[in-house]
């Protein structure tokens, strides 16, 4: 398929994929060859199990309020 035949969405996806691949090739994966601690792995698996069981999550707004974080602090 040629670029001229692509939809806008297809072109955007192609650009995202190309940029992502280029950055991966340039920077590589800094965590490659590193091991994940077993405790951390178990925490992630527990979170995954709870989500699969339908456990409610905390809305982002509540987290911001609970920890005194302003939204604009996250984007600076």
- What's the predicted TM-score (pTM) here? 0.40
CA distances from 46 to 31, 36, 58, 69 (A): 22, 15, 16, 26
Cβ within 8 Å of residue 70, ≥6 positions away: 64
3-state secondary structure string across the chain: CCHHHCCHHHHHHHHHHHHHHHHHHHHCCCCCCCCCCHHHHHHHHHHHHHHHCCCCCCCHHHHHHHCCCCHHHHCC
Q: Per-residue pLDDT tens, the chain, 76 aa: give them.
A: 898 999 999 999 999 999 999 998 898 887 888 898 999 999 999 989 988 998 888 888 898 899 888 877 666 5
């Amino acid at each position: 398929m040629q670029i001229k035949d692509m939809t806008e969405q297809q072109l955007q996806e192609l650009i995202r994929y190309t940029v992502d691949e280029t950055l991966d090739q340039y920077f590589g994966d800094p965590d490659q060859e590193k091991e994940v601690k077993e405790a951390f792995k178990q925490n992630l698996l527990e979170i995954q199990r709870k989500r699969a069981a339908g456990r409610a999550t905390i809305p982002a707004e509540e987290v911001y309020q609970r920890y005194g974080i302003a939204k604009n602090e996250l984007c600076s």
